[in-house]
Structure 1
Amino acid sequence: MTQRQGFNDELQRRLGLLRAQSLFRELRRVDSPQSTHIEIQGRSLLNFSSNDYLGLANDPRLKEAAMRATEKFGAGAGAARLICGSLAPHHELEGALASFKACEAALIFSSGYATAMGVICALLEKDDVMVIDKQVHACIVDAAKLCGAKLRVFAHNDLDDLERILKWADRRNAQNPAARRPHILIATESVFSMDGGHAPLDRIVELKEKYGAWLMVDEAHATGLYGAHRRGLIEDFGVADRVEIQMGTLGKALGVAGGYICGARVLIDYLVNRARTFIFSTAPAPGGSAAATAAIQVVQSHDGDARCRQLWERVGQIAGIRKKVCPTLSSHPAPLESPGASLSPPPSPAGRGGTTPENTKKPHASAIIPVLIGDEAKAVEISRALLAAGIYVPAIRYPTVRRGQAQLRLTLTASHTAEEASRLLATLSNLKSQI
C-alpha cells in the first residue's frame, strides 16, 4: 500500500463512521438563482431553507449594481486591501454600512467567519477572558478557542450564569496592576441562527457595564429586519451606543456575501492594522461590494419596508396555521403570535425615530422556525419525505447542532406567498406522526 492510498483509506474510514451515524453530508447543485423555488436535479422545489430573508439575492437592482462595478473595476480586486486591492466599491460599501448602522466607521471582510476570527484574535491576548453564549455561531466559538484568551461559556441566555462568570473574571483581573489588567470580551448573537431566539441585549449590556467588559454582538440574522431603521436588534433594544463591536454579514437579509464590523473609528483603524484575516486576504470582488451597497439602499427604502411587512405577515401566518393543523411540530423560542410593535409597518424613512423602551420589551418574531426532531436518522428521513413532496428543507445535524438535537430549520422570506406557506404547513401536518 502506498502512503497516498493509506491516506485515502483513512479518510474513507472516517466518512464511513459519519454515514453510520447519519451525519454524512454532501453538496447539492442548485441550477437556479436563490428564490422561493430552486432547481435541483431538474426539479423545481419550494425552498424553505434560505437566509435570503428579504428576497434580495436575485433582485435586479443588486445584479445591475454588480454588473456595473464589474464592468468598471473588473471581476476581482487583485490584491489585499493594504496592497492595491482597496477599490472604490469597498470604500463605498463601508461608508454605507457606517451610515446605515449609525456608527463612525465600518470594515468589510471576505466572510462572516473571517470577520469573527479576525476581530476576536486581534483584540484578545492570552491573559484576557473571552465569554460566549453556549449557542453562538461556530465562527465565534472557533475564534474564542484560537485567540489564546481564557474561554468561559455561559448557559444559553442565562444572565445569572453570565454574571457568575463575570464576577469570577473581575476578581481574577483585579489581582493585576491597573496598567496591565486583562480585558473581558462578551460575545453573543442577537438572533440565534439555529432556533431564532433573541438575546436579552438590554440586560447583557447592563452586566457588561457593571463588570467593565467589552461586548461584541453578531447581528447576522437581525440586520435589515429589526428596529425603526432596520439596523438590527441592537437598535430595537436601544443599546447601539453601548455596544463596542457590531458584527454582521452581507449574506443574509442583504442577499450578497461577506462580513463586516461597525463601531468607532479607532476600532476600525485597529482592525486594519491587526486583524489577520483582513490583512492577509484578497479583497472581496468589487461587484459583490457594489451589490451589497445597493441592498442597503433597498432596505432603507419604502420597498424595504414593504418586504419586511411581507416577511412578518408570513411568520404570523405560519404561527396561526401551526396552531390549527400541527401544534406539536415546533416549540419556538419566542412568541410568534405578535411580532411586536417595532415589527409592525414602520413609518417612512424620512419620518423614522428611535424605538421606545416599551417596544424593546415586547416579544419578537423570527424568520427562523426550528422543528426539533432529535434523532439524526429520523431528521434525514423527514427531510427526504419533504423533498419527495417538492419542498426543500435540509436536516440540520451535528456539528451544526449538538448530537441528538437534529432539527428541521425552516426559514421564511419576504418572497414566500401565503399559498406557499400554507403548503408547507399542510405537508408538515401530514408528516407529524413521523415527527
Structure 2
Amino acid sequence: MEFLKKELSNLIQHNLYRRMNTMNDSQTSRTIVNGKKCILLSSNNYLGLTGHPELISAAKDAISLWGTGAGGSRLTTGNFRLHEELEEAIAHFKNTESAVVFNTGYMANIGTITALTGKEDIIFSDELNHASIIDGCRLSRAKTVIYPHKKIGALEKLLQQASGYRRILIVTDGVFSMDGDLAPLPRLVELSEKYNALLMVDDAHATGVLGDRGAGSVNHFGLEGKISIQMGTLSKAIGSAGGYVAGSRDLIDYLRNKARSFIFSTSLPPSVIAAALAALRVMQKNPQLREKLHLNAQYLRSGLKQMGFTILAEESPVIPVLIGDADKTVQMAQHLFDLGVFAPGIRPPTVPQGTSRVRVTVMATHTRDDLDQALAAFEQAGQMLGIIQ
C-alpha cells in the first residue's frame, strides 16, 4: 500500500502529521507528559474530578461488587442497576423527563442523529460543529445544510427554503470545542419553534461548566423545556467516560430502540458508571469548583490578552490562542513544552486553514502559581517566535 507512505509523507511535509503524547501521570494541573514534568493546559478535566477521592472510591466499590466488565449490551445482559441510577440522575440534573447513556459522546451524536433523521429529512448544522455531529449527519442520509457559524439570519433564510421534508433538525454545539464560544441558543429556540424544527444541542464542553447549577448551556440561558434534545459527555467536567442524551420520555425510549450505536455496543463497565454518579454528587455539592474554574479562565485569558495574544472567545474555559500559520503553531506548542507547559497546537483539518491555534484549557485545580508560570512561558515563547512584541 504505497499510497499510505505518500499520504503520511505529505502530512509531515505540511506540518499536519499528528503524534500521540504519552501521559505518565494523572490528569492533574501538574503532570508528566512524554517523561517531562509540566503544567497541563490542555485537559478537558475542567473541574479536576478525575482524581477526586469520592470518584475513585465509588469506582473501586463498583468493581468489588459488580466486576470489571458489563458482559453485554444494555438490551441483553449489560443493563445494571447502576446504569439506570445514572440515567435518572442525569435527567434530574438536566431537568428533563428521561436520559440514556451511550459509551462515548461520539456514539451519542451518531446514534441520535441517524435514529431521528433519514433521506426524507433535512438537517441544519453549524459549520464549526464537532466531527461527531458531522459524521452523524453524513450517516443519516438526510440532506445536510451547513450554515455559517452562529449566523442566525443566514440560518433563517435557509429554513425558509426548506419545504417538503418529513422532519427538520437544527443541531449545534453548546460550547464550540475549538473556539470556546457559545451558540446563540435563545435565537435558535425561536427559529426551531417558528419553523417546527427539532433542536439538538451538543453540551459536551458545557456540562458541569455553565449554568447556575452547572447543567450546561441550556441551563445557562434558562431554556429548560425549550430544547428537544440535549446531548453531553461524562468524560470532561464529569471526570469519567461516556456520553448521554437527555429529553422527553418518548425520545429516550425511541433512542433505546433505534440508535444503533446504543443497541449494538457492550455497555460501559459499572466502575465508570459509578464514577460518573459520584461526580454528579460532588459537582452539585461543591459549586465553588465551577466558580474557581471560571476565575482561573478569566485570569489566564486576561494575562494572555495583555501580552498581545489574540484570543478567539471569552465565554468558557476553552481559550484558543490564535497563531494562524500551522508551522508557527507547531513551533509555539513545542517552545511551550520546552518551557514546561503542555498546550497542543491545533491545525487543519480540525480548524479551518489560516486559523491554527494553541488551544488552552484551564481546570479548577490550577493554582495561581501554575497560571503565572504558564503566562511567563507564553510570553517567552511568543516573543521568541515574533507572535507578540
Q: TM-score, structure 2 length as denominator? A: 0.97
Could you list the runs of 4 or more consecutive aligned residues of structure 1 that deviate by over 6 angstroms after TM superposition?
none
Structure 1 CA distance for aligned equivalents of residues 123 and 84 of structure 2: 31
Matches within 5 A, 1:7-406: 7=1, 9-169=2-162, 172-173=163-164, 182-301=166-285, 303=286, 305-324=287-306, 326=307, 328-334=308-314, 365-406=315-356
What whole-Å deviation, never above 9, does each CA across 1:202-236 have from its counterpart, x for those lacking one?
01100110011000001111111221211111012
Q: Are the equivalent residues in 1 in contact too, given 2:108–2:243 (CA < 8 A)? A: yes
Alpha carbons of 1:319 and 1:24: their partners in 2 closer, same or farther (altered >3 Å)?
Answer: closer
Q: Are the equivalent residues in 2 in contact too, given 1:330–1:369 (CA < 8 A)? A: no
Cα offset for 1:36?
0.8
Structure 2 CA distance for aligned equivalents of residues 52 and 60 of structure 1: 15
Structure 2 CA distance for aligned equivalents of residues 93 and 201 of structure 1: 26
Cα offset for 1:95?
1.0
Structure 2 CA distance for aligned equivalents of residues 75 and 417 of structure 1: 35
Query: Of the two, which has the highest radius of gyration?
Result: 1
Structure 2 CA distance for aligned equivalents of residues 27 and 19 of structure 1: 14
Select between 308-317 and 272-281 the one with higher mean Cα deviation. Answer: 308-317
Q: TM-score, structure 1 length as denominator? A: 0.87
Q: 1:408 aligns with which of 358, 380, 384?
A: 358
Structure 2 CA distance for aligned equivalents of residues 427 and 26 of structure 1: 23
Q: Alpha carbon RMSD of aligned pairs, Å?
A: 1.1
Cα offset for 1:323?
4.2
What whole-Å deviation, never above 9, does each CA across 1:337-391 have from its counterpart, x for those lacking one?
xxxxxxxxxxxxxxxxxxxxxxxxxxxx310110111211111111110011011
Structure 2 CA distance for aligned equivalents of residues 333 and 34 of structure 1: 24
What whole-Å deviation, never above 9, does each CA across 1:375-423 have from its counterpart, x for those lacking one?
1111111111001101101111122112332110000110001111111
Structure 1 CA distance for aligned equivalents of residues 355 and 303 of structure 2: 25
Q: Are the equivalent residues in 2 in contact too, given 1:69–1:89 (CA < 8 A)? A: no
Cα offset for 1:316?
2.0
Structure 2 CA distance for aligned equivalents of residues 41 and 227 of structure 1: 36
SS of the equivalent of 1:157 reads coil
SS of the equivalent of 1:432 reads helix
Cα offset for 1:331?
2.8
Structure 1 CA distance for aligned equivalents of residues 29 and 154 of structure 2: 40
Q: Are the equivalent residues in 1 in contact too, given 2:46–2:363 (CA < 8 A)? A: yes
Question: May I ask how many residue pairs the two structures share in their alignment?
Answer: 385
Structure 1 CA distance for aligned equivalents of residues 345 and 301 of structure 2: 21
Find the counterpart in structure 2 of residue 341 from structure 1. Answer: none
Q: Are the equivalent residues in 1 in contact too, given 2:137–2:144 (CA < 8 A)? A: yes
Structure 2 CA distance for aligned equivalents of residues 236 and 26 of structure 1: 36
Cα offset for 1:312?
1.4
Structure 2 CA distance for aligned equivalents of residues 134 and 104 of structure 1: 30
Cα offset for 1:21?
0.9
What whole-Å deviation, never above 9, does each CA across 1:161-188 have from its counterpart, x for those lacking one?
110111111xx22xxxxxxx51100000
Structure 2 CA distance for aligned equivalents of residues 321 and 405 of structure 1: 21
Alpha carbons of 1:396 and 1:232: their partners in 2 closer, same or farther (altered >3 Å)?
Answer: same
- The percentage of counterpart residues that share the same residue type is 41
Structure 1 CA distance for aligned equivalents of residues 41 and 87 of structure 2: 31
What whole-Å deviation, never above 9, does each CA across 1:292-331 have from its counterpart, x for those lacking one?
0000001111x2x11111111112212332343x1x2123
What whole-Å deviation, never above 9, does each CA across 1:131-190 have from its counterpart, x for those lacking one?
011111000011111101010011000000110111111xx22xxxxxxx5110000011
Cα offset for 1:257?
1.1
Structure 1 CA distance for aligned equivalents of residues 180 and 335 of structure 2: 24
Cα offset for 1:285?
1.1
